[in-house]
Each structure stands twice: as structure tokens, then as C-alpha cells.
Chain A
């Protein structure tokens, strides 16, 4: 069973290319300074175009997380139970990810750092607790 694959488009290809090259990128508006994910053509703050991609430091904190005990897609059936979390990068943007830690150890505000993992041939930005081996 293949996992759902992200749809690479002209809009988000810099994001996925960054991950393939080993870095997590977010968009940054040269006009107003706003930073965000996921990819957009227009800045949601000032509505102008021309956003630049910037490399994230890769550190952040857990905002919230859930643990799936049921699979909504067959590809995740043998991964149950698995977690999905919202992480806020230190630069501001938030993203959906998985936390590489025992579910019981995850907490809101927990400091995490980027750990790229190849899944179905795509580098996915996952996060591990800061200080974990």
C-alpha cells in the first residue's frame, strides 16, 4: 500500500526541493516581513506577490498533537497508533508533522528539532524532542 504523496506544483516545488536538499523552508514576504507555511502566491498579510523562500533553523515547539487509533487510509493501518502534531517553528510558521517520541512523552510547549525522514521516497519534515539522541 502506497502512502498518500504530496502534490508537487509550481507553487510548492521550492518547499519539496528544499526538503529533498535537506532543509525546511518557509515563505517570507519582502514587503511586510510576514512569514508563513504552506505555500501561497500572495502574502496573506499584505496581499502582495514575490514571497521568498527562507531556510528554517529547524527548531520549534509542539502546539498540539493527536494519536490515531483508527486508520482513515489503509497505508496507515500498520502504523497504528501513530501521532500527528502541530509544530510552530521559532520563526513563526506552523506545520503538520509527526513527533518522533513515545506518545506519552509529548507535551504542549515541548521543544523539538527537525529530523528529515524519507517516506515513500519523499523527505518529510518530522520532529524529535530537543536533547533526544
Chain B
């Protein structure tokens, strides 16, 4: 069994927002340095590097470029290309490599700088279909959002409730990129971008980096890591089909990623006290709540409008602000917030956290990964 066998021994991140003049490699190095400091271990202990490729600027041999900058010659290393699920996939692959005896201490990290660099990837033409005006990442999520409304009658206020909660949590986070609170009226008043998406349905665009140190629980005990957080469950599953071709738009393989993670942890949705759910767009949160079994299909709208997802509710979500408020980076910051919640050091700490769940996804809901942390 993998449950509890591996830990997140340290976490680190850069400032979030606009960080001009910094390469993604430099940002990654800063986050890794902070993660190693947090774990209280020396760099030379690291023998695995698992990095998600930057979204906005592809580079070949990125893992090697980063390892060189880290002054490391790892036994095992990979640059992962799965969009926003890659960070948590990286954690899983690191655990598997440790289990197989192929490394002992792994850095899992991600950096990007689309805010001060290029945002072109988010506005990209979607193949030959650009002839119809089919452009941008946002439009793919808008298609899914619209279909969810069509199938379930999901009200605008449900999407608004997700945005309002994220911004409320972000306002309390001194590191958040967007700390201005949002009201439901303010949400509804914003002009549509790609209808049905409004401005506040969409993640921030952010520069920054985040990193984790992963090792076995045994190793962490032996070297006296102070605040190691056990990994209880992990799952991945991939929808793969482009939005256009996907037979069902309103449920994804996130369902299977969650099922596997819950099975590994021996837990269910009712055992989770706090969740960090990838909120690149508000629709993603609603569908994840449904696919993960926190509520039945089509019923996330009531769940989020009842105030259950805000701090003080029975399933606080994205307690540092998520992609909508803390930073638009693809997901590793959500793992870091889950680590803080389990350690009891979060700014908006949820009392009595035994199990924290993280959901990451990438592309246009193409890739999915689930992580459950706890004591």
C-alpha cells in the first residue's frame, strides 16, 4: 500500500503576480531553494527533479536546463507536459520512483512568467477551426460552462458564488495577487468575455513558481524533518478528447482520478475537512464537486450557494484564494495550501483538519490528478 508511505517534506514559492526580468528557470530555483529550507535539508540530498514545463514558453530539455541551474545531476528527472495536472502527476511519479528505489529525495516544481512575458498561448487559434473564430483557452471552458447550464439549469449565481468565495479567501492572503473582494452583484455586472464567461470566472495570469520536496516517510523520520505531511491518496485519469470531440462535456475523468485517490487513502468525500480545487474557471469547481462525489451531478449549484465552500462552512474551498485570486499558476500553490492546512499554519486555517484534498486538471479538462494529504 502507498498510503502514508511518502511525505511532502517541504514547500516553497516565490512572490505571485508580476515579476519582470525573471526567467522561469530563475523562478524555479528560488522556489526550490525555499522548499529545501522549509524541509531543512541540503541540496545535495536531492536526486530526483520532476518539473512541469512552463505553459507560456516551451523549451526543449527544460529539465536539464533547470537541473543545471540547480547545480544538480539527478538520478531521475523529467519535464512533464500535462497542463495543470502535471504538478500532481509529478508528485505521484516521484513517489513511484522512490518506491522503486530509483531516487530518494525529489523536487517537484513549476514556474512560469506569462504576465510579464507572453500570454499568447491563452489566446491561441485552435487549429483550422480558427477560421470560425475558435480561439483561446477561455472559450473551451465557456463551451463546457454553457453545456452544464443547458443540462442542469445551473444559475449564474452559482458560478458567481465560486468567484466570490475565492476572492474572499484571497483578500485574507497577504501573498495573493488579487486581494480586492468581489460581490455577487459585482460578478454579475462585469461584461461578458466569451459568453457565458465573465471576467471573474477566469483565472488570473501570473508570474511565479512553487516547489515541493517529496521523500519517504521513513527518510523524513530518520533525518528529523519537522513538519512532513503524509500523502494518503493519489489518482490520475485523462479525458484526452478535445472539447469538440468529447462525447460528454459535463463530467470528466476527474471522477476516476478521485475514485482512485479516495480508494488509496481509504477515505470518502465526507472525510475531507478542506479542499483545494483547481479553479482556472468557475465551471471547473462545480464539475469537480460533482465528479468527486461531494454532491450529485447538477447539484453543485446549491452546494456552493449555501455558503458551504467559504471559510467557516463545512467544506471550505481554496482557502488561499485559488487561481481566481491567489495566483493563476497551474496548481502547485493549491498543494502548498493543503500542506499548510494539514500543518495548521494556514492564514485562513480550518479547525481540526485531518484530511485535505487537492484537485488539479489541465488543458481544457483534458488531464486530471487528485491528492489527499493528512495526518
Contact = CB atoms under 8 A, between A and B. Distances in A.
Interface of A: 3-7, 12, 36, 38, 63-70, 72-73, 76, 79, 81-82, 84, 86, 94-98, 103, 107-109, 119-120, 122, 124, 126
A86 B243 contact: yes
B4 interface: no
Given A3-B131, A4-B125, A97-B132, A108 B150 contact: yes
B146 A64 contact: yes
Contacts of B128: 6-7, 12, 38
B132 A84 contact: yes
Contacts of B244: 86, 94-96
B142 to A, nearest CB: 4
Majority-rule SS of B interface residues:
helix
B125 A63 contact: no
Given A94-B244, A108-B150, A67 B132 contact: no
Interface string B107-144: 00000000000000001011111111111100100111
Contacts of A3: 131
Nearest to A103: B195
A86 B144 CA distance: 11
A86 B143 contact: yes
A94 B139 contact: no
A86 B248 CA distance: 12
A74 B243 CA distance: 24
B133 A76 contact: yes
Contacts, number: 90
Interface of B: 123, 125-136, 139, 142-144, 146-147, 150-151, 191-197, 243-245, 249
Contact of B144 (A64, A68, A81, A119): A64
Contacts of B147: 63-64, 108
Nearest to A65: B146
Contact of B136 (A72, A95, A97): A72
Contacts of A98: 132-133
Given A4-B125, A84-B139, A108-B150, A70 B193 contact: yes
24 contacts: A5-B131, A38-B127, A38-B128, A63-B147, A64-B147, A66-B142, A67-B192, A68-B133, A68-B139, A68-B194, A68-B195, A69-B192, A76-B133, A81-B195, A86-B243, A86-B244, A96-B132, A97-B132, A98-B133, A103-B195, A107-B150, A108-B147, A119-B131, A124-B131
A68 B130 CA distance: 13
Question: By CB atoms of chain B within 10 A, which of A63, A66, A70, A107 has the most?
Answer: A66
A73 B130 CA distance: 9
Contacts of B134: 84, 96
B151 to A, nearest CB: 7
A79 B132 CA distance: 11
